[in-house]
Amino acid sequence: MSDQQPVFNIEKIYVKDASLEAPHAPQIFLEPAQPQLEVQLATAATRAADGLYESVVTITVTAKAGDKTCFLVEVAQAGLFQIRNVPEADLEPILGIACANILFPYARESVADLITRAGFPPVHLAPMNFEAMYAARQQTQGPDARGPDTRGPDTRGPDTAGPRIEIAH
């Protein structure tokens, strides 16, 4: 490694994908049942160019009342980060922890906004501890755990080893 200082810059934060489905609207608004929420979180990262990495946090929230889906919201919040002069071994934790921590508040806001715009009460997701998630994934999957692929375009899909959280609403 050269004598240059490590570089970490946020180049761009953007919504890569967002979708909302309310398949039983408007009838679902007339039902008094409290929906059950299921929240899924996934992270992924790829090398976009020399020294530039895309990190993506994907949140999926599904609300069901009985066997009917009230809504399904999915947001893929992405960021383009300049990371230079960092040892290759340190890239995975930077992308999986630091970048995910930066992106999560934006994703959480987009999820809440989409749900509210669909006519449902807002869902405010609790902050996530990406460091603990990363450590748990490393522990359960061992040293060869699938982390962000920093070599090129991501052909593996999102890292779904993240938690599946069920919340009663």
For 126-163, how does the pLDDT look when each residue is reduced to its tens digit (9 = 90+)? 999 999 999 988 888 765 554 554 444 433 334 444 44
Instruction: In whole angstroms, give the CA distance from residue 12 to residue 79.
Output: 5
Determine the pLDDT at residue 5: 95
pLDDT category at 122 given cuts 50, 70, 90 is: confident
Please check the confidence at residue 28 and state whether its pLDDT lies above 60. Answer: yes
pLDDT category at 32 given cuts 50, 70, 90 is: confident
Determine the pLDDT at residue 142: 66
Q: Return the number of other C-beta atoms located less than 10 Å from residue 7's C-beta.
A: 12
Instruction: In whole angstroms, give the CA distance from residue 89 to residue 70.
Output: 43
CATH fold of the domain at 1-122: Bacterial Protein-export protein SecB (3.10.420)
* Domain boundary assignment for the chain: 1-122
Instruction: In whole angstroms, give the CA distance from residue 94 to residue 109.
Output: 23
